[in-house]
Amino acid sequence: MDTKRLDLNLLVTLETLLVEQNVTKAAARLNLSQPAVSAQLNRLRHEFDDPLLIPAQRGMTPTAKAMELLDPLRQALDQVRATVVSHRNFDPAQAKLTVSIACTDYLQAVVVKPLVVELRMRAPGVRVALRNLDVPQLDAQMARGDVDLALMTPQAASPSLRTRHLFNERYVLIGRRKHPRLREGITVEEFVEMDQVIVSLDGGGFVTPVDRVLADLGHRRNAVLSAASFLFVPEIVSYSDLVALVPERLVRDRADKLMVIDCPFPVEGFAVGMVWHERCHGHGGQRWIREAIVSLMAHT
């Protein structure tokens, strides 16, 4: 490839095509005609000596080489964009902005609560609109502008969306202080005999991935309450002899009411990150909020 002849606009077109995987949608985003984008795609195929995108039943499918190009291409173009717009400084103290965030109630408590406190001090004109997380609809919601930012497991996001890792979470076992049977170093056998609260985000279920782990170990726990929300669990546990496995960050400030101990058997945790659409990527205010979240989570 002769890089001296390579037009930067071609790389912008390639990035958009790889994200949209549809010539018509890419043309709309680039404010170009469909024939113009098709012509640029032909030039890109010649330059990279690869089809890059192959017609499919719905839209186009990227080739292996195209998928390898996406991340380094984005990073390079992001550096160019950052240089071009670096003079447009976002002033949080003066800004008026509403950001729509989709997440579970657990992440509202762990991430959004400290974010709102920070915003009231540093960016009082920034408002936060919370929405329930609907992963199957998230791509469309973000494309329409209904959701600006999602807090979730990044691996569950559509490949067309941008992601950034925030932290890794683990599960801990909680019970009320002075619980008659809960203590450090309990065995799995003791654990499964305790009356337990489980969380079924779909509502009403009594089998979770934890139960499948226990089944592999030859055990079955005594779940007496299935809750649809993690936020309810510490409260009911603190006033009863029920115990529960919950994400650790949810109960870090509950030491006055709860015992928090390690789970007596290996339980897989999960990653938490931010997910956003290309349309929000270069927005100064949105970028500032994402960086504020990163900073907050690095210090908690």
Q: Which range among 18-27, 83-92, 122-131 has the greatest average pLDDT?
A: 122-131
164, 280: one domain: yes
User: Is residue 143 domain-resident?
Assistant: yes
Judgement on whether residues 214 and 132 belong to the same structural domain of the protein: no
What sign has the CA pseudo-torsion 282, 284, 286, 291?
positive
Which pLDDT belongs to residue 1? Answer: 57
| Phi, psi torsion values for 254, nearest 5 degrees | -115, 20
- The verdict on 182 and 244 lying in the same domain is yes
pLDDT of 87 strictly over 50: no
DSSP per-residue string spanning 121-168: HH-TTEEEEEEE--HHHHHHHHHHTS-SEEEE-GGGS-TTSEEEEEEE
* Whether residue 257 is found in the same domain as residue 177: yes
What's the residue count for the chain? 300
Number of domains in the chain: 3
With cut-offs at 50, 70 and 90, classify the pLDDT of residue 121: very high
Token couple for 263: 């789970």
Give the model's confidence band at 115: pLDDT under 50 very low, under 70 low, under 90 confident, else very high: very high
Does position 281 have pLDDT exceeding 50, yes or no?
A: yes
**What tokens does 156 get?**
């569950």
- At 84 the pLDDT is 62
Section 7-36 average pLDDT = 91
In a domain, 2, yes or no: no
| Mean pLDDT value of segment 232-241 | 94
Q: What is the mean pLDDT of residues 156-174?
A: 95
Whether residue 79 sits in one domain with residue 55? yes
Say if residue 160's pLDDT is above 60: yes
Whether 3 maps to a domain, the answer reads no
Residues 148 and 28 placed together within one structural domain of the fold: no
C-alpha to C-alpha distances, 86 to 72, 145, 249, 283, nearest whole angstrom: 21, 24, 35, 11
Q: Mean pLDDT over residues 100-106, rounded?
A: 96
Q: Report the CATH number at residue 81.
A: 1.10.10.10
Mean pLDDT of all residues in the chain? 91
Check whether residue 154 and residue 279 sit in a common domain: yes
pLDDT recorded at residue 256: 87
Q: Are residues 38 and 187 in the same domain?
A: no
Q: What percent of the chain has pLDDT over 90?
A: 77
Do 71 and 193 share a structural domain? no
- Output the domain CATH number for residue 193: 3.40.190.10
Do 263 and 289 reside in the same domain of the chain?
A: no
- Please check whether residue 26 lies inside any domain of the structure: yes
256 and 120 within one domain: no
Together in a domain, 77 and 218: no
What is the per-residue pLDDT for 79?
81
Amino acid 242: pLDDT: 97
The model's pTM: 0.70
pLDDT at 188: 96
Q: What is the mean pLDDT of residues 210-235?
A: 93
Return d(Cα 3, Cα 47) in angstroms, integer. 9
Name the residue range of residue 148's domain.
Answer: 94-169+271-298
pLDDT in tens, 262-274: 999 999 999 999 9
